[in-house]
Amino acid sequence: MANGVHFRPTRAEIDRDALHHNARIARQLAGDARLLGVIKADGYGHGVLTVAEAISEHVDAFAVAFIDEAIEIRNAGFQHPIVLLEGCFSEAELPVCAHHNFQPVVHQQQQLDAILMSRMVRPLSVWLKVDTGMHRLGWSPAEAQRVYEELKASPQVGSVTMMSHFANAEKQTHPLNDKQLELFEDVCAQTESKLDMSLATSAALLSSAIDMAQHNGHWVRTGILLYGDNPVEKAIELPEPLRPVMRLVAPVIAIRNVAKGESVGYGGTWTATRPSLIATVAIGYADGYPRHAKNGTPVWLKGHEVPLAGTVSMDMITVDITDFTDIAIGDEAELWGPNLSVGRVATHAGTISYDLLTNVTARVPRVTR
């Protein structure tokens, strides 16, 4: 990795046009709502500054998990407000937030006390999190009203945006969705008629779980859809399909015959049931390819889908290419990307697209196109 030179061709190609395209679709679906581009965890593993640059013209603000992620974005020169989805860890962050227009979520009493007791030069904009059923962060619906009023009354506080988070947004028919929506609407109705609020994420937008027209002042928090994956079981029809942003690529570095009855890889989890041809590809779990990917997980190679054959190693995987004679050393496999959705690979590995995208490791160069 010295001097940015990479001899190993394994890489994650990042498609800027696809980011623009997906952000435009988010914009279209969101209607009059404002868009919060969620770019935590290094832009879901795509490289946060690349993502920020591509989506900056399409979104009204950015969101990250915590302040260190926000500072990186601000230092790179982006002027958008940045929401801190976990809020602050200590009161030392508050002046930094006020100075940089970072907008922390306030989800518990210590955070509230710190803000109310602070002496900031500029008022802080905050997001008040209500726990409507996820039971991870936030105030109960019964407490939210009091907290809202305390924040509104404080000279330290500028705007307050009411927010909550669905626990099952990717399953449209899950009964908790309606219950959470109802609780959230009740809390909002008790506070003010013209309230800034935020409930929808990518899944809610892609399933029309929330009627945006009925939620004036809504902020939609879009993460995964910007990166081109649709997490919803039965998604609505989109004006155009989303485009995967990351294409993870690695070369074939060996091809061998394996006799019937021989096993491949650590633990011999795959055994040839016929005379087989096995290709070894230079990517492994140390690159972020999931170690739990099962035998049969698809890998895209020269226009074919070939099945993973054998346990994923640290630096390599093995695939069964017996049915294809046109594959040679140096050919490049797509582990996920436009030809093979990251969601499908995730299912074979017992996980979700978010997990795979955010776990591509630092030794895989991001190549922006």
Ligand X SMILES: *Cc1c(COP(=O)(O)O)cnc(C)c1O
User: Binding residues for ligand X, per CB under 6 A?
Assistant: 38, 40, 85, 165, 201-203, 221-224
Q: Where are the alpha helices (DSSP H) in the chain?
A: 16-30, 40-44, 48-55, 67-75, 93-100, 109-117, 141-153, 175-191, 202-207, 342-348, 353-358
Exactly one of 40, 44, 129, 227 is catalytic; which is it?
A: 40
- The number of CA neighbours under 13 Å toward the Cβ of 52 is 25
120 is an annotated ligand-binding site residue: no
Q: What are phi and psi of 159, to 5 degrees?
A: -90, 155
Q: Nearest distance from residue 307's CB to ligand X, in Å?
A: 29
217 Ramachandran zone, left/alpha/beta (phi>0; psi -120 to 50): left
Q: Nearest distance from residue 40's CB to ligand X, in Å?
A: 6
Q: Nearest distance from residue 129's CB to ligand X, in Å?
A: 8
Straight-line distance from the first to the last Cα atom of the chain, in angstroms, rounded to the nearest whole number:
19
Closest CA to 343 of 333, 355, 334: 355
In the complex with ligand X, the residue whose CB is nearer, 18 or 279, is 18
- What distance in Å separates the CA atoms of residue 357 and residue 227, rounded to the nearest whole number? 9
In the complex with ligand X, the residue whose CB is nearer, 132 or 201, is 201
In the complex with ligand X, the residue whose CB is nearer, 47 or 223, is 223
Note whether 156 and 115 are within 8 A (CB): yes
- What distance in Å separates the CA atoms of residue 319 and residue 91, rounded to the nearest whole number? 52
Helix and strand numbers (H, E) in the chain are 11, 18
Q: Nearest distance from residue 28's CB to ligand X, in Å?
A: 16
For CA atoms 339, 342, 346, 347, the dihedral sign is: negative
b/e burial code for range 45-67 (CB count within 10 A of at least 16 → b): bbbbbbbbbbbeebbebbbbbbb
Q: Nearest distance from residue 64's CB to ligand X, in Å?
A: 9
> Of all residues in this chain, which one has the CB nearest to ligand X in the complex?
223
11 is an annotated ligand-binding site residue: no
Tell me, yes or no, if 44 is annotated catalytic. no
- What distance in Å separates the CA atoms of residue 180 and residue 165, rounded to the nearest whole number? 8
Exactly one of 179, 234, 260, 266 is catalytic; which is it?
A: 266
In the complex with ligand X, the residue whose CB is nearer, 156 or 164, is 164
In the complex with ligand X, the residue whose CB is nearer, 133 or 223, is 223
Residue ranges of the annotated binding site are: 136, 314
Catalytic positions, please? 40, 266
Residue ranges of the annotated binding site for substrate are: 136, 314
